[in-house]
Amino acid sequence: MPREFNQIVQGDCVASLAQLPESSVDLVFADPPFNIGYDYDVYKDRKKPNEYLAWSRQWIKGVRRALKPTGTFWLAIGDEYAAELKVLSQEIGFTCRSWVVWYYTFGVNCKYKFSRSHAHLFHFVVDPTNCTFNTEAIRVPSARQLVYADNRANPVGRLPDDTWILRPQDCVDGFQAEEDTWYFPRVAGTFKERAGFHGCQMPEQLLGRIIRSCSNAGELVLDPFSGSATTLVVAKKLERNYLGFELSEDYVKRGTERLQKVQPGDRLEGAPEPLVSAPNTANGKSLASKVRKKKVVANPDQTEENATPASQRAGKKGSGKSRSESQQNLFE
């Protein structure tokens, strides 16, 4: 295997991991085949359960060997083997910091069970006392700031919850067909972000949160199942070194072409982080409206009806500003 980074290496991930220098990688993000019969280009996604778990143990051991003592391993997996791979990873020596549930719209439609609209994201570390977690890079405004007008709110926001969710009903004017919306919708076929040659493509904003929080500029990010190369594209945009392994020669070619089209510092595709970290509350109070109301009520010549801000009175008639507009004003 070539020693240079910042490329996609064509080959089997187990063999390629074994050729990496020990303790050379800072962050691994892996979105392996789920063993559900998906139609990949080369790989056959239908192993017997014991074969799939034995293979998973091999490549996860390779990840553990390649990671630095301060390294981090994120694993994306479906329901079928989530519990097994969590236990297996812990047996190999990882500590699970978070079990994140990623909820998305445009889920897989099912005939005889509830339609799937989530995946599991395991956040593992080698050493829980010495690992990278850049909290300031991923903070979001809190509900105390945006909904409840609570002066106790931390002015720099809060860390995201461990359920990453898109709720278009909370931002009725924010869900557009041409781009991703917050938090992280699945990259559906009509989305602008879609690369088009690989069916399992992660949203750039989701990977951006992981890479920002668990690595630093100039460090090495590895994806042993490069696929659409989105992990590597995001790593490059965020000024990290990157390395991918991919079994399919065609995916390597197409992923390399994607990488050549982006530069360090380019913006991530899809909508940025949302302005709220809690469901919309129709009658919630914002700090801005609270201040306006105090100023109006301070005038004794005005009635209670007149003391109500015009935007709120109009809103009762269905013609006021949208919730997203009033929230945006807090940051202007």
DSSP string, 14-65: HHHHHHSPTT-EEEEEE----SS--B-SS-B----HHHHHHHHHHHHHHHHH
User: Please, are residues 230 and 201 in contact by the beta-carbon 8 Å criterion?
Assistant: yes
- Residue 71, both tokens: 């390294």
Mean pLDDT, 10 residues at a time, over the chain (332 residues)?
Answer: 79 96 97 83 84 97 98 95 97 96 70 79 97 89 80 85 56 34 42 48 88 97 95 97 95 95 93 46 51 55 46 41 35 30
Tell how many helices (H) and how many strands (E) occur in the chain.
Answer: 11, 8
303 torsion bin: left (phi>0), alpha (psi -120 to 50), beta (else): beta
What pLDDT sits at residue 61? 98
- Please state, in angstroms and rounded to a whole number, the distance separating the CA atoms of residues 285 and 149: 6
Tokens of 223: 């994806």
Residues in the chain: 332
pLDDT the model gives residue 202: 86
pLDDT at 288: 55
* pLDDT score, position 197: 44
Cβ(52)–Cβ(81) below 8 Å: yes
Which pair of tokens denotes residue 126? 């080698």
Rg of the chain, C-alpha, whole Å: 23
Rounded CA-CA distance 271/279 in Å is 18
Contact 199, 38 (CB under 8 A): yes
pLDDT of residue 274: 41
* Cα–Cα dist 208/268, whole Å: 8
Angle at 274 between CA 273 and CA 277, to 5 degrees: 115
Domains of the chain: 7-260 (3.40.50.150), 287-329 (no CATH)
Q: What is the pLDDT of residue 158?
A: 83
Helix axes 249-260 and 230-237, enclosed angle (nearest 10): 20
Task: Give which of 245, 242, 326, 324 is closest to 291, Cα–Cα.
Answer: 326
